[in-house]
Amino acid sequence: MYGRGRRRGGSPAPTKGGGRGRGRGAPFPSPMASSEADSISSVSQLGGEMERLSVQTEPPAPTQAPAAIPAPQQQKQQQQQLVPASSVKFAQRPDHGTVGSRCLIRANHFLVELADRDLHHYDVSITPEVASRGVNRAIMRELLASNSTHFQSRKPAYDGRKGFYTAGPLTFTSKDFVVTLVDKDDQGSVRKERKFKVTIRLASKTDLYHLKEFLQGRQRGAPHDTIQVLDVVLRESPSNNCTIVGRSFFTAGLGGQNEIGNGIECWKGFYQSLRPTQMGMSLNIDVSVAAFYEPILAVDFVAKLLNLGDPIRAATRPLSDSDRAKLKKALRGVRVKVTHGEEKRYKITGISASATNQLRFAAEDGKQKSVVQYFLEKYNIRLRFASWPALQSGNDSRPIFLPMECCKIIEGQRYSKKLNEKQVTALLREACRRPVEREHSIEQIVHFNDVAQDDLAKEFGVSVKKELTCIDARVLPPPVLKYHDLGKARTVRPRVGQWNMINAKLFNGATVNFWMCVNFSSLGEQMAASFCRALVGMCNNKGMVINPAPVFPIRSGHPNQLEKTLAEVHSMCNNERKQLQILIIILPDVSGSYGTIKRVCETELGIVSQCCQPKQARKCSPQYLENVALKINVKAGGRNTVLEDALNRRIPLLSDTPTIIFGADVTHPQPGEDSSPSIAAIVASMDWPEVTTYRGLVSAQKHRQEIIQDCAGMIRELMIAFRRTTNQKPSRIIFYRDGVSEGQFSQVLLYEMDAIRKACASLEPNYLPPVTFIVVQKRHHTRLFATNPNQTDKSGNILPGTVVDTKICHPSEHDFYLCSHAGIQGTSRPVHYHVLCDMNKFTADCLQMLTNNLCYTYARCTRSVSVVPPAYYAHLAAFRARYYIEGDIASDSGGGGTGPPVRREAAPVRPLPAISPNVKNVMFYC
């Protein structure tokens, strides 16, 4: 685990620019220089300050930049303006942006109009308690049908849990009902009856006044209770007619189902969310896809899952141990119905330890009887798959065994486990649609989900426009990128989000004296050597200085001896007193070794490595070589390109005073993986004023814990590193925080702002640089569509640099949507940036331009990227760290899926292995 304020090795780099005066250049006090009591005192004092969390309480001055570091008197005044943590208010919108060329676009937001209604909230209690929302809804439907006199003509809305809403009062404030729920089979015959006691009590009354005040910007806090009522109303109809997955609805009426492999199929549906915006209440509707189990016989599912071909032919062959483990994992929690005798439904808890033909049970006469014999005598069914295990329901003490061939998977069950590469590709193929197709699909969904004909919506006075919202947007200009002066192209201005560096040389080309190549693939020695020569030639051509001769000739290694080979290479170089700066590794032909290689190199041997795919090494295309050269340069300590405005100190609220930019993210293990911790990563810029190079730290923490637990320690270490590399101490902090949902805004801001302040105070008394804290949200469903086909990129998407801060944005808080990249396939997803705290008082234009310009500094390609690089790098660092503890099972997980994990006893947090200091000093995660 990292980031506890320990000083690491490495000498300071030359100072970038001036600012060597006492106020900026004075070093932080050594942790050993001040007494422990002083340190505790400053942190304790700061803790008191953080109870009055720094947030903006009034609109800032539009353009004035703050002083470098406030004097003590100014800091005291600043602290006195802080508000109590119990009333946290996020940064208000300072103004609307004006920079850029204007354009008209459409968004998949639909205006919701509201009539005045007297809203009543009732609390529902069902006994015995039911976990399923579907069963709860069935109970309430039966209650309303059999007790219509108590509800008069009211049409209530129900959320499937405790919330029950009406547009006007009921005849009672509290009443108990008895409901009999009848379960029927597919033929309509009564299977069983269940009785429930339902208590309905008045909880509160509300109206639309506070919501209207909030939408007009005259009230700060959103009236969540009122929004909740309206959301439930709009979800009632699809909830009764569709399969629900999170906030999405799926039904056969929206395009049917398509197989994606291994017994899984893709369903098309739609996402729906009610949101307060500047134009009023807005219904965000988007296309959604999800993976479901195919409703097929269990034996057919097994054949598809295990790629057995015809299940009849495979019936006589027992399943291997690995196949049994795979099957058990895939079917755990799945509901099936039996195809013999009386229809019954079961939830699968596992599979039998023995084959079906070896299972015996105690019959009614007390004698042992085999399952095979029982089915033959009772149902005249001769089991053909008796060599396979049986499905198990119930628990281990009282198991119920079900032959697979007599079970069918029930339709409509979400597959929440990790998809394989083939399934992901097939799912993305269904999900990725060009903008015109996606917009048309959304219009079809609006027609399918016709709110105008919904009686419940009419009851509550809710109407929804059928037209997508038109918005006046702006396209921000791309920045000018600076390359080395020795190249023919000293500066480059990107076009439509991309550029080439054919005639350019890297801004700071790294020098590599000691390198080597290890080949774990089937490539011949000559081909591997030719690839290395071409790669080194490309690096040198782009401005790097790499020794043409490796420390040792290419070393071939067997894929089964990765660790041994890497250790031997490390030892050989050390014996020659030539510490490797870069180890080029040609990966094995079969995937699955990348994680092991990175763990060994970065945590055990202290080697910075660059892995290459063997198929790419065979092709040896110039484009691939150039991309690898970009990665090698930053891993060797170089810089590929910088913003010309940053170099010339022309970026507002960045260039005027030493500024450190942080990126932070937390990735979680995939669903069902309970033994793995969540991993937090924080990166920070190390080269002000250019802000191109980022140092990264990682830390393991509790399973699915979103708040960064070791935030203060990691920030402290990065602040010390910034001071060492720039000979400056940060006078301003910009913090891009990825991966936070709206419901976690307050919690994350309070805890992590507190951590930032404690880290600063532990470095120097009264050291409180102003902070701007911005949440970066990628996982949302807002999509933007061009209205003019001449204002699109090649894929038909809106142009890179398109920014929106009106209409569909928050009524009063500082947020904006930015599409900073050019689309490649499908519909571009803009990133939503929400400013939670802004002590630096950014104007809308300043922050939007800074964020967009930073998206052109991503080190790994010559394209602008969709997410601001500090947040992108933090994700890469966290994902890399997962390899250290999970190996290659971490691949493609992308920080965890969306389905609920199968929870068992919480596993203790496994600390991450320490990353070697020389590796941590460079951008090893690229």
Average pLDDT of span 412-433: 90
Q: Is the pLDDT of residue 80 over 50?
A: no
Average predicted confidence (pLDDT) for the chain? 88
Highest-confidence segment of 337-346, 393-402, 662-671, 765-774: 765-774
pLDDT of residue 28: 65
Structure tokens at 833: 């940036």
Q: How confident is the model at residue 914 (pLDDT cuts 50, 70, 90)?
A: very high
Nearest residue to 482 (alpha-carbon basis) of 293, 641, 291, 654: 641
Least confident of 210-214, 427-431, 580-584: 427-431
Query: Helices 745-763 & 711-726, crossing angle to 10 degrees?
Result: 50
pLDDT at 213 over 90: yes
Give dist(CA 854, CA 864) in Å, integer: 9
The DSSP output letter for 259 is E
For the stretch 393-410, pLDDT in tens is: 988 788 888 999 999 999
Q: Mean pLDDT over residues 380-401, rounded?
A: 90
| pLDDT confidence of residue 658 | 98
Residue 753 makes CB contacts below 8 A (sequence gap 6+) with 50, 53, 54, 771, 773, 837
In 52-113, which residue ranges form alpha helices assigned H by DSSP? 72-80
Q: In the predicted model, what is the mean pLDDT of residues 158-184?
A: 92
Residues ≥6 apart with Cβ < 8 Å to 555: 516, 517, 518, 519, 565, 568, 569
Cα radius of gyration rounded to whole Å, the chain = 31
| Burial (0-12, 13-18, 19+ Cβ within 10 Å), 345 | middle
Residues 27, 12 contacting (CB under 8 angstroms): no
For tokens 């404690």, name the residue: 758
**Chain centroid to CA 443:** 27
Q: Report the pLDDT value the prediction gives residue 889, as an integer from 0 to 100.
A: 56
d(CA 112, CA 464): 5
Running DSSP on this structure, what letter comes out for residue 885? Answer: H
Give me the pLDDT at residue 54, please: 36
Please give the structure tokens belonging to residue 16: 């970038």
**Band of residue 47 on the pLDDT scale cut at 50, 70, 90:** very low
Rounded mean pLDDT, 351-368: 86
CB hemisphere CA count around 107 (13 angstroms): 30
> What is the rounded CA–CA span in Å between residue 101 and residue 103?
7
- Give the closest residue to 65 by CA, choosing from 837, 715, 481, 650: 650
Under the banding of pLDDT at 50, 70 and 90, the label for residue 641 is: very high
* Residue burial 656-665, b: 16+ Cβ < 10 Å; e: rest: bbbbbbbbbb
- The token duo for 320 is 């291997």
Could you tell me the two tokens for 734? 């910009």
Assigned CATH class of 642-887+908-921: alpha beta
| Distance in Å from the first CA to the final CA of the chain | 20
235, exposed or middle or buried, with CB in 10 Å at 0-12, 13-18, 19+?
buried
Distance CA 882, CA 890 (A): 6
- 353: which 2 tokens? 């330890």
Per-residue pLDDT, 190:
56
The C-alpha angle with vertex 790 and arms to 785 and 794, in degrees rounded to 5, equals 75
Least confident of 53-57, 238-242, 334-338, 413-417: 53-57
Beta carbons within 8 Å of 660's beta carbon, 6+ residues apart: 684, 685, 688, 718, 719, 722, 730, 732, 733, 734
Measure the CA–CA gap between 363 and 352, rounded to whole angstroms.
19
Instruction: Find the helix or strand (DSSP H, E) in which 202 lies.
Output: strand 190-206
HSE of 876 in the Cβ direction (CA atoms, 13 Å)?
Answer: 19
Inform me whether the pLDDT recorded for 16 exceeds 60.
no
CA angle 175, 176, 178 (to 5 degrees): 145
At 34, which helix (H) or strand (E)? none
What topology does CATH give the domain 509-636? Rossmann fold (3.40.50)
CA–CA dist 486, 505 (Å, integer): 7
In angstroms, rounded to a whole number, what is the distance separating the alpha carbons of residues 805 and 817? 7
Is the pTM for the entire model greater than 0.75? Answer: yes
CB 531 within 8 A of CB 615: no
pLDDT at 185: 59
Q: What is the pLDDT of residues 782-809, one digit of tens each?
A: 999 999 999 999 999 999 999 999 999 9
CB atoms within 10 A of CB 898: 12
Q: What contacts 488, CB < 8 A, 6 or more positions away? A: 503, 504
With beta carbons less than 8 A apart as the criterion, state whether 375 and 390 touch: no
Position 591 confidence tier, pLDDT thresholds 50, 70, 90: confident
CATH topology of domain 298-410: paz domain (2.170.260)
Per this entry, what is the length of the chain?
926
pLDDT-based confidence at residue 819 (cuts at 50, 70, 90): very high
| Rounded-to-integer distance, Cα 667 and Cα 679, Å | 5
What pLDDT does 357 receive? 93
Give the Cα separation of 700 and 681 in Å (integer): 9
Better-scored residue on pLDDT, 78 or 430: 430
pLDDT at 890 > cutoff 50: no
pLDDT (average), residues 16-21: 38
Q: Which contacts (CB < 8 Å, 24+ apart) does range 610-616 have?
A: 610/582, 610/583, 610/584, 610/585, 610/635, 611/585, 611/586, 611/587, 612/531, 612/535, 612/584, 612/585, 612/586, 612/587, 613/587, 614/521, 614/522, 614/523, 614/586, 614/587, 614/588, 614/589
**Is residue 415's pLDDT more than 50?**
yes
Tell me the mean pLDDT in the region 46-72.
Answer: 36
Weakest-pLDDT range from 102-111, 318-327, 771-780? 318-327
Report the percentage of the chain scoring pLDDT > 70: 87
Neighbours of 363 (CB within 10 A): 13
Task: Sort residue 772 into left (φ over 0), alpha (ψ -120 to 50) or beta.
Answer: beta
Could you give the residue ranges of the DSSP H alpha helices within 242-338?
298-305, 311-314, 321-331
Please tell me the predicted confidence (pLDDT) of residue 713: 97
Q: Phi, psi (5° rounding) for residue 541?
A: -65, -30
Minimum mean pLDDT among 350-364, 795-809, 828-842, 882-896: which range? 882-896
182 — pLDDT class (breaks 50, 70, 90): confident
- Count of alpha carbons within 13 Å of 803, Cβ hemisphere only? 27
- The model's confidence at residue 188, banded by pLDDT at 50, 70 and 90, is low
- Residue 7 predicted with pLDDT over 50: no
Amino acid at residue number 485: D
454: Cβ–Cβ under 8 A, 6 or more apart, which residues?
Answer: 236, 237
For residue 624, what pLDDT is reported?
97
pLDDT tens per residue, range 86-145:
347 899 999 999 999 999 999 999 999 999 999 999 999 999 999 889 899 999 999 999
pLDDT at 186 over 80: no
Higher-pLDDT residue of 30 and 399 is 399
Contact 277, 222 (CB under 8 A): no
pLDDT in tens, 642-672: 999 999 999 999 999 999 999 999 999 876 6
Mean pLDDT of 720-739: 96
**Residue 896 scores a pLDDT above 70:** no
Q: Say whether pLDDT at 327 is over 60.
A: yes
Domain ranges in the chain are: 113-293+424-467, 298-410, 509-636, 642-887+908-921
Task: Give me the pLDDT at residue 457, please.
Answer: 96
